[in-house]
Chain A
């Protein structure tokens, strides 16, 4: 099925550094979501974006819904060791189409 282009694939950073990751798509989405998955667990919703241009924060996390509706980014400020995990972006279509299209994920490693 269709997938989003998510980058980078992996990141190795030092504790305290800021992190940025993004997703792009050839298709328009009405909703962008960012999830975090830890080993052996299901994805946990971090931020949901519903409007083009919307900028939303959740603690140290900030995400934006691109104005073209074809992209989104997630920033993590002042990273800590528990930020380690795989971060997935997901786009959701409109109307009655609630299916999610997932990016391939960004593996984040934080060195203390």
Chain B
């Protein structure tokens, strides 16, 4: 149990275009999902917390108008990178929080590699 999928797994786009990444919890409902960004040989950096039915909460320094997050249902959150530029190239990873007996544990998706040309 606790499987999280992401689509697409990798995407190449031209500068100026927008890219949408989907995150789905396949076998549990997640009221909270998280979006992370990871640069090579670095740890995960939290971008935003996505709550079902409400606006996402963005971390300091993350542009909410550039990284649009929609948490449409208890199993789906999407991240749209608008007007992408080469500096947005990165590994984007989502996680979904599953409620268990002691709290909520985050389970991660396989990540999406974005390359902006």
Chain A interface (Cβ < 8 Å from any Cβ of B): 1, 3, 30-31, 33, 35, 40-45, 48, 50, 88, 92, 94, 98-100, 102-105
Contacts and interface: CB of A to CB of B under 8 A. Distances in A.
B20 to A, nearest CB: 18
8 contacts: A33-B105, A41-B111, A45-B2, A50-B103, A88-B44, A92-B106, A102-B43, A102-B44
Contact of A42 (B60, B103, B109): B109
A100 B59 CA distance: 12
B102 A31 contact: yes
Which 10 pairs from chain A and chain B are nearest by CB? A42-B108, A50-B102, A42-B111, A102-B43, A43-B108, A42-B110, A98-B104, A42-B93, A104-B43, A42-B109
Contacts of B42: 104
B7 interface: no
B46 A100 contact: yes
Contacts of B28: none
Contacts of B32: 98
Contacts of A50: 102-103
